[in-house]
């Protein structure tokens, strides 16, 4: 154990190097540093241990000593790969290989065989040594998803989209374009996708934005940075060649698909995972929401919440909802009345009331007339009358990512007012 201090110094150096690697490849630097330093330390300690005379283990002991080790390795591989965003099939493959490795080491540690008696014996043993791992390898890998040449060829031979007719077919075509141009490599769409390098276009609700804005973000991604993606690596991440790769019809189809990315049950979410926030606590959005609320947003001309609800929150019209009182109950004039007060309104209720209005009152279904982008902003601002931004001690939690089932429910229950969704 004399050389332990040396081992510690080397491990610390490797840890610092790991940190640098983490920063450079935008992985988690402390985890990289810890993993590399830890492995070096372990290796060093093993090296400094006194050697013992080798003894042969019985089969049971041989297996029993390997199972706990491989279990730890398999669990670490599974969660490590999950953390770095590897698809589930890769996780399964990594774990399978650790099991194959275990079998290999068990075989290595088996009792020494008796010396072969004849050339036939040697050949038989040699053949068996190759056959066993090969069979294992084939069995395990055949369970994994296969590369299908016909499938890949069909993708290559697919005719480009040349005509754009708005509707469900264009949306389906747009989705294929999204997939085949590898947008999923950087963007999740709600629960789907492989990495969080770019914004989750589902929870961000890119579909709230105008088609022109979305198109510009695809063609000239450097012009406007997505909030929370201002770091130098993110700024340069999104490729700039889509304008050359996609024809006009393909671009329009892609935009129709992106326009479906909305969530009628939550405020949009901004920022790079895991440092995210919702529009409820976004200073810039609240400033824009104030403009909308007071009827000063040119893109939503004619919309003016303040004429009834008051620019300072004091209702200008009798019966108009008073946003200054956090204990105001939900209206009892709607069949879907909820037993909650303003401070506890779920995002979904807020959105439903503002887009669909309150029957037989001046609170009209604004969502049938105005873009929902501006309605969400006005709602976020309306909250400040009873809960001013500068008095808040914490942000509203970022909601969990909606599941496939929830998204189906929005469509089934017609939570969007838009028939295409
Ligand atoms: C190599 C990673 C990468 C790929 C591939 C990629 N993007 Fe992006 N994208 C980003 C990053 C990072 C951002 C955020 C920084 C920025 O705004 O440029 C972004 C931003 C965007 C935005 C703007 C979001 C906003 O807040 O307004 C849209 C829209 C978008 N991407 C669509 C796409 C589409 C469609 C594709 C495929 C055709 C694609 N991206 C492919 C990394 C990528
Ligand atoms: C023409 C007047 C008018 C305008 C404009 C108006 N509202 Fe209202 N709003 C009302 C009235 C009246 C009520 C009360 C309805 C009732 O009797 O329950 C109301 C109720 C509400 C409620 C409470 C619904 C509930 O759950 O009880 C919300 C939230 C709301 N308005 C938001 C807005 C927002 C945001 C805007 C702007 C985008 C807006 N309103 C524009 C008149 C208006």
Cβ 343 under 6 angstroms from ligand 2: no
Helix (H) or strand (E) holding 250, with range, is: helix 248-259
User: Measured in angstroms, how far is the CA atom of residue 260 from the centroid of ligand 1?
Assistant: 16
**Residue 351 and residue 380 in contact, taking contact as beta carbons nearer than 8 Å:** no
Kindly state the average pLDDT of the residues 325-345.
97
CA pair distance 106, 70, nearest whole angstrom:
11
- What's the pLDDT tens digit per position in 116-142? 888 888 899 889 889 987 898 888 777
What is the DSSP-derived secondary structure letter of residue 219? H
Is 90 exceeded by the pLDDT of residue 359? yes
Tokens 């038989």 — which residue?
A: 124
Domain boundaries 277-397, CATH class = mainly alpha
CA pair distance 2, 9, nearest whole angstrom:
13
**Whole-number percent of the chain with pLDDT over 70:** 99
- What's the pLDDT tens digit per position in 32-69? 889 888 988 888 888 877 777 777 778 888 888 889 98
Residue closest by Cα to atom 36 of ligand 1: 183
**Where are the CATH 1.10.760.10 domain residues in the chain?**
157-270, 277-397
Is 60 exceeded by the pLDDT of residue 292? yes
Residue of 302, 309, 370 with the most ligand 2 atoms within 8 Å of its CB, for mutation: 309
What is the DSSP-derived secondary structure letter of residue 158? P
- What's the pLDDT tens digit per position in 239-261? 999 999 999 999 999 999 999 99
- Whole-model pTM above 0.75? no
**Residue 190 and residue 269 in contact, taking contact as beta carbons nearer than 8 Å:** no
Confidence of residue 421 (pLDDT cuts 50, 70, 90): low
Cβ 279 under 6 angstroms from ligand 2: no
Give the pLDDT score at 199.
97
- CATH code of 157-270, in short, is 1.10.760.10
Cβ 229 under 6 angstroms from ligand 1: yes
How many C-beta atoms lie closer than 10 Å to residue 140's C-beta? Answer: 15
Residue closest by Cα to atom 38 of ligand 2: 305
Residue of 175, 180, 199 with the most ligand 1 atoms within 8 Å of its CB, for mutation: 199
């Amino acid at each position: 154990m004399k050389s332990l201090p040396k081992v510690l110094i080397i491990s610390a150096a490797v840890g610092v190097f790991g940190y640098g690697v983490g920063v450079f490849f935008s992985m988690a630097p402390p985890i990289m540093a810890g993993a590399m330093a830890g492995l070096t330390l372990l290796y060093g300690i093993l090296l400094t241990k006194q050697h013992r005379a080798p003894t042969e283990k019985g089969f049971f002991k041989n297996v029993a000593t390997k199972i706990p080790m491989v279990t730890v390795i398999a669990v670490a591989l599974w969660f490590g790969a999950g953390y770095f965003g590897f698809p589930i099939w890769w996780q399964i493959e990594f774990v399978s290989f650790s099991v194959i490795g275990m079998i290999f080491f068990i075989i290595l540690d088996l009792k020494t065989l008796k010396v072969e008696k004849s050339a036939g014996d040697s050949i038989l043993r040699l053949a068996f040594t190759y056959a066993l791992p090969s069979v294992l390898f084939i069995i395990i890998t055949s369970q994994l998803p296969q590369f299908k040449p016909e499938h890949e060829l069909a993708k290559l031979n697919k005719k480009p989209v040349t005509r754009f007719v708005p509707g469900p077919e264009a949306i389906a075509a747009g989705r294929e374009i999204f997939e085949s141009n590898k947008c999923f490599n950087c963007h999740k769409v709600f629960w789907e996708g492989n990495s969080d390098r770019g914004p989750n276009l589902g929870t961000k609700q890119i579909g709230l934005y105008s088609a022109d804005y979305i198109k510009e973000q695809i063609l000239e991604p450097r012009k406007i940075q997505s909030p929370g993606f201002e770091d130098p690596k993110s700024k340069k991440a999104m490729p700039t060649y889509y304008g050359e790769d996609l024809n006009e019809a393909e671009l329009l189809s892609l935009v129709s698909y992106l326009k479906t990315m909305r969530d009628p049950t939550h405020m949009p979410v901004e920022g790079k995972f895991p440092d995210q926030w919702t529009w409820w606590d976004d200073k810039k959005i609240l400033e824009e929401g104030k403009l909308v609320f007071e009827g000063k947003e040119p893109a939503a001309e004619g919309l003016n919440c303040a004429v009834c609800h008051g620019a300072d929150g004091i209702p200008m019209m009798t019966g108009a909802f008073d946003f200054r009182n956090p204990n105001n109950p939900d209206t009892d004039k709607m069949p879907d009345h909820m037993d909650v007060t303003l401070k506890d309104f779920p995002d979904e209720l807020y959105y439903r009331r503002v887009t669909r209005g309150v029957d037989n009152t001046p609170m009209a279904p604004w969502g049938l007339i105005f873009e929902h982008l501006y309605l969400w902003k006005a709602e976020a601002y309306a909250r400040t009358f009873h809960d001013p931004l500068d008095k808040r001690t914490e942000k509203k939690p970022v909601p969990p990512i909606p599941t496939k089932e929830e998204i189906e429910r929005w469509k089934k229950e017609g939570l969007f007012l838009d028939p295409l969704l």
